[in-house]
A and B are shown apart, each in its own frame.
Chain A
């Protein structure tokens, strides 16, 4: 078990390291000098030189990569070219919108998908199954940002139950905060819930045809309790994989949904930074998101080991 986790951890850290190199090199391709960009065209050569050395731009590329990497490990993401404030600060504020939004959506998606998938699988071929499957077809096909626009125009503009955008801030209390994230979270969660429902359903159906399900029935279990006691845990194995992938989809989706709701999260920051060519911010946000995705992959690996004893035994 420990060996399995250690092995996964090493491989994930390696992925992270390579990802950081790829990212650094990609951003390095961009022509132009950030220092002259920051100071404008009329800058004095001396001031330019001073700023370049302050930003560490006069060092060699490997040195700068090392500086960037070790800086990040200590929470120092550098200084924004445009706002001249520490990037870490800018990210820190925004992250507390994007991350809760993603987790909220993940929770909603799971809460919808698990019961729906189990229900559909246990009524295979009947009307309940057909209804759920039909809904998932629609759910998978709907673009989440358009769905978000529809939600806004109905619940916020027409019914006025919610504000149509912006974020009240966590200092207004947990409930107020969650309320302003509810519509975005629903918009994000429903399409993903549709995918997860389909996976849950088909995975459970696969499991139902396994020999050990027949054994469970031969023991005297009813269909229902065989599904609950023997089916679900086995069916979870592929569902976990999708759940892990969903996190990264949701994280990326959150960036887009933030635009619909004018939420001042990482997405807004990134698009602003791209427009202002503030590449160090883009670089940092992308790295942070990759880190989050990799960490979730590790959590999924942990969950695998918990669910499946065969993995625990394997080295």
Chain B
């Protein structure tokens, strides 16, 4: 595809990994095409690609862990040894000892029934002929190195007793316990909160510096590899489309896909700001919500956990308000309370001046004014219904049932306004891509012409280029339909680009609020400052965020 520009390492003499003409396919269907890569000792390579680009398959090819049925051709030379020709036995000796890997999902990457100590020592004992005592010593030292000191996190801990970030540290400890020459990290922080992500990225940086470790960092997010990777490779549909230094690529990339990716990553939709004099739409006063914790005994009194603590907020007509916070901060609970999906412990919610009741008693009149778009484009639809039935579902709340014909008119309007076609109404949901599904979700919200749409992580699961399109669509709809958005997200850089005002939530409370630009430029609360500092940035934004 492209000319093989060798990633020029600081120490060019020693090439650690060299991939030549690597082709991977399954049932004649190509997955990777003529991949050329090379990596020196201690180098850091970033591999960037959207879903389906083949970046994870590349990682698994290097590890020799492709699932059964994949055909490989070409060379993967690691220390002059072609791994594609190596026996399974010699690969087993390399894995975990010379080449290690860290996966995306820390919650499931550890064996739930074995203690973390056992899982780390096992790795040592597997490759080194050492006593239990020595293996335990190495495990302790390694866990210390990844930020899990033995005094706080004894080896007897089980995975379920650790948070996601801590589990990822254990996985990293297993990977580096034997000082491998190469570590492959496949989206190691994607499932984590931003502050946790920053911690893991710092750890990886430190390990690279201290341990003479070469690192391949795979991500969908250009910002994540910025500041770590010496070089990056952009992949698309199994091809390497461009490679080079990140900053150089930003300035001088020639390839249209790279340019598109960079544009999409920092895309700012054109928005009409809501007039400051716009009438208020949603008014939340001192709202608190409780969760019932499962009882200790069936005879003991139920205990409650206050997930939302006395939150007040207001949204004006046509305004876009961001709500940011990390997992467990209470933002989902708040959303559910607003939608009438969970009871309110204290406080009041007014929509259009009308007070909302509790739970299922939320009146249809209120439901008509408020809709929601969820995160998961795959889980948001009943797979057994056609798009027509899915989209018209909210019409159920109208005072007077619409005739078949009126429904069709409304349906067609909604589909067209989100950029779909009328004919799509007769398809099933599995016939659509993730981005199209989010459009259908928006159409479903739009069909009863609500005044407020709650976007609950609505673009978080999308690839950057699709995300940019959906953000554009949302901005256009806000302008044409005068819709207000409550934009809930963990992604600060997106919130910054699409909201007028922003609320920062921590441990059930709003800790900071204000005009978006003001908050991002001059955060006053330490938590906001921490969040902003932890947010990965693109090279050209470094001065801004």
Contact = CB atoms under 8 A, between A and B. Distances in A.
Contact present between A and B (CB < 8 A) = yes
23 contacts: A212-B109, A214-B65, A215-B103, A215-B110, A217-B65, A217-B95, A218-B101, A218-B175, A219-B100, A220-B93, A220-B94, A220-B97, A221-B96, A221-B126, A233-B113, A233-B114, A234-B113, A308-B112, A309-B160, A310-B158, A310-B160, A313-B158, A315-B296
A307 B113 contact: yes
Enumerate the 9 nearest inter-chain pairs by beta-carbon distance, A residue then B residue, closest first.
A220-B96, A219-B96, A211-B108, A220-B95, A212-B111, A309-B158, A218-B101, A219-B123, A211-B109
A287 B114 CA distance: 40
A214 B103 contact: yes
Given A218-B65, A218-B103, A220-B126, 17 more contacts: A7-B297, A210-B108, A212-B110, A215-B109, A215-B174, A217-B95, A218-B96, A219-B95, A220-B96, A220-B123, A221-B92, A221-B126, A222-B92, A230-B111, A234-B112, A308-B113, A309-B112
A214 B114 CA distance: 15
A216 B111 contact: yes
B105 interface: yes
A61 interface: no
A219 to B, nearest CB: 4
Contacts of B413: none
Contacts of A313: 158, 160-161
B168 to A, nearest CB: 12
Contacts of B127: 220
B171 interface: yes
B63 interface: yes
A272 B112 CA distance: 51
Nearest to B299: A10
Nearest to B112: A310
A229 interface: yes
A179 interface: no
B154 to A, nearest CB: 14
A229 B118 CA distance: 11
A123 interface: no
Interface string B436-458: 00000000000000000000000
B103 A211 contact: yes
Interface string A295-315: 000000000000111100101
A3 interface: yes
Contacts of A219: 95-96, 100, 122-123, 126, 174
Contact of A218 (B100, B114, B115): B100
Nearest to B63: A218
B88 interface: yes
A230 B108 CA distance: 13
A2 to B, nearest CB: 12
A230 to B, nearest CB: 5
Nearest to B161: A313
A280 B98 CA distance: 72
A128 B123 CA distance: 32
B170 to A, nearest CB: 10
A234 B111 contact: yes
Contacts of B110: 212, 215
A149 B113 CA distance: 44
Interface string A219-246: 1111000000110011000000000000
B142 to A, nearest CB: 13
Contacts of A222: 88-89, 92
B32 to A, nearest CB: 19
Contacts of B65: 214, 217-218
Contact of A211 (B63, B105, B115, B296): B105
A229 B113 contact: no
Contacts of A220: 92-97, 123, 126-127
B103 to A, nearest CB: 6
Contacts of B111: 212, 215-216, 230, 234
